[in-house]
Structures are given as structure tokens and as C-alpha cells.
């Protein structure tokens, strides 16, 4: 029997990109999926795409910027689904603005969605997983969650914060059979740059050249599922750009030299 057969997997950001690709993969592996996003129409489309397996998808619209009701929502999901075995936090928003031009309210908004929204849902689900005897919670960072990058100051900060939280979550709760992992994508061909926020809070509205050359969401989903199977604490997803992680770690001076020459996009 497959590891994910009859498991319940809750995915945020499930209406497009990596989240959508992961939903299809888990459904095909026999899991029941709770699909969340702030785009209800997209969730309905994704559910419909599952065809005769659409009954395995349970839609729960969720806005990570408004986390006040997450505990209630988590309780309802456990009541309806019986349990939550995996929580995969994929929802979030990127940024395309320099520090000088980014107003503080925008820093706060990005942090609210990427960090506080993610940990709020994780905190809401965690007690139910412990009561059920275990579970696996994953957060989505970025390679720029490991180092700074032009036009991504708030985004980078929000993603770096997730590493500290989820490493602590794993250390504190491993005795309850709780696992925590961080997904670290590089370039994946999704709409993350299209939906990124500019200095005014409006959408960037275009696909960055680097993003366009990224791996497909389907390939990313394949790597993530493989990482979950192997119980990886960090799951690297991408292509040659992931080398920057090792350059930053082992050759910091070289990293800053390279980063300083990067043309912002």
C-alpha cells in the first residue's frame, strides 16, 4: 500500500502552480485532499479536473491574511475528514520592490501572509495531529529564504523566519511523532512573479525571465513528494540555481560578489 493511501493532506495555495500539481499527485496516490486558497474559482476548476476522483477533494477557501478563524476551520476539517495527516503550507506572496521604495505597511502585509498566516494554520492543526498520534507539517520557503536577493527584502525576511519556526516545531514535537519540513524552491514556472506585490501593493503583472526558465510545477511536485517519502527536513526544488545555496554557505564572499551583479527582475 502506498504511503499516502487514505491519508488526509491539506494543501494551501492549491488553486494553481505547485499546489495544484501536488493536489493531482496526491489524489492519484489515493489520498484525500483538503484544498485551500483565496481563489475559490480556481479551487473549483482544480477539483473538476480530478474527474471521477473529484470526491476526494474537499474545498476550503482560506485567506492567509486573515487568520482569526483558523482554529475553528481546523477543528471543522478534523471533524469532517476524521484527521489531518499532512499540512503543506504553499500559499504566499512574493515582492518586486526595493527597500527604499517599500512602505512599512507592505512589509507587514507580506509578513502577515507568508509568515503569520502559515504559522497560524500550523498552530491550529498541530494539537489535532498530536491527538491523532502524529503528522507532518511542511512550510514553503525559497532559495531567497536562505539569503538576500534584490527586490525581495520583505519576501526574503518572511521566508527566512519560517526556517526558525519550523525547525523549532520539529525539535519540540518530535516526541509526539510530529515531523516538520521546509520546502525550498528555486525557479519554478508558476505565477508567483505575476502575482508579486510592487511598492504600491499592486500586482507585478508579468512573468520574470528567470521564472519562465524554471522547472514545471509537475516536476516540483514530484520532487516534493519524493522528499516527504524520504522524510527530508529540507526539500530542495529547482535546477542549477540551487547551487547558490552552497555558494552562500561555503563561499560567502563569492556569493555577495555574484549577488551584487544580479540584474533585478
pLDDT per residue rounded down to tens, the chain (265 residues): 689 999 999 999 999 999 999 999 999 999 999 999 999 999 999 999 999 999 999 999 999 999 999 999 999 999 999 999 999 999 999 999 999 999 999 999 999 999 999 999 999 999 999 999 999 999 999 999 999 999 999 999 999 999 999 999 999 999 999 999 999 999 999 999 999 999 999 999 998 888 899 999 999 999 999 999 999 999 999 999 999 999 999 999 999 998 887 766 5
**Selected catalytic residue, list 24, 115, 155, 246:** 155
First to last CA, the chain: 45
Q: Alpha-carbon distance 156 to 159, whole Å?
A: 5
In Å, how far from its chain's centre is CA 100? 27
Q: What is the pLDDT of residue 211?
A: 86
What per-residue confidence (pLDDT) applies to 261?
78
Instruction: Say what the pLDDT of residue 264 is.
Output: 62
Domain ranges of the chain: 8-259
Q: What is the pLDDT of residue 128?
A: 98
Read off the pTM.
0.96
| Three-state DSSP class for residue 235 | strand
Helix (H, G, I), strand (E, B) or coil at 61: coil
Phi-psi region of 161 (alpha: psi -120 to 50; beta: other; left: phi over 0): alpha
Is 115 a catalytic site residue?
no
* CA–CA distances in Å: residue 155 to residues 59, 123, 190, 235: 27, 21, 16, 19
The pLDDT value recorded for residue 262 is: 75
Helix, strand, or coil here: 58?
A: strand
Q: What is the pLDDT of residue 64?
A: 98
Q: C-alpha angle 21/22/27, rounded to 5°?
A: 105
Question: Which element (helix H / strand E) includes 187?
Answer: none
From the centroid of its chain, how far is CA 250? 26
Sign of the Cα torsion 243, 245, 250, 253 reads positive
CATH class given for the domain over 8-259: alpha beta
Amino acid at each position: 500500500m502506498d504511503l499516502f493511501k487514505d491519508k488526509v493532506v491539506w494543501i494551501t495555495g492549491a488553486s494553481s502552480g505547485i499546489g495544484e500539481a501536488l493536489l493531482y499527485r496526491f489524489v492519484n496516490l489515493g489520498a484525500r485532499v483538503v484544498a485551500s486558497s483565496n481563489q475559490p474559482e480556481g479551487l473549483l476548476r482544480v477539483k473538476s479536473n480530478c474527474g471521477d476522483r473529484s470526491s476526494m477533494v474537499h474545498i476550503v477557501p482560506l485567506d492567509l491574511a486573515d487568520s482569526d478563524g483558523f482554529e475553528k476551520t481546523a477543528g471543522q476539517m478534523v471533524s469532517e475528514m476524521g484527521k489531518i495527516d499532512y499540512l503543506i503550507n504553499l500559499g504566499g506572496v512574493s515582492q518586486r520592490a526595493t527597500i527604499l521604495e517599500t512602505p512599512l505597511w507592505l512589509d507587514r502585509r507580506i509578513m502577515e501572509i507568508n509568515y503569520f498566516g502559515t504559522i497560524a494554520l500550523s498552530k491550529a492543526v498541530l494539537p489535532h495531529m498530536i491527538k491523532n498520534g502524529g503528522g507532518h507539517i511542511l512550510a514553503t520557503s525559497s532559495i531567497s529564504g536562505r539569503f538576500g536577493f534584490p527586490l525581495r527584502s520583505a519576501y526574503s525576511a518572511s521566508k527566512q523566519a519560517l526556517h526558525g519556526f519550523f525547525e523549532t516545531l520539529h525539535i519540540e514535537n518530535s516526541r509526539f511523532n510530529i515531523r516538520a519540513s521546509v520546502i525550498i524552491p528555486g525557479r519554478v514556472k508558476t505565477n508567483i512573479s505575476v502575482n508579486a506585490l510592487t511598492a504600491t501593493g499592486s500586482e507585478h503583472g508579468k512573468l520574470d525571465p528567470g521564472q519562465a526558465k524554471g522547472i514545471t510545477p509537475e516536476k516540483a511536485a514530484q520532487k516534493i513528494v519524493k522528499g516527504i517519502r524520504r522524510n527530508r527536513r529540507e526539500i530542495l526544488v529547482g535546477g542549477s540555481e540551487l547551487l547558490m545555496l552552497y555558494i552562500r554557505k561555503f563561499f560567502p564572499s563569492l556569493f555577495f560578489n555574484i549577488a551584487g551583479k544580479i540584474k533585478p527582475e
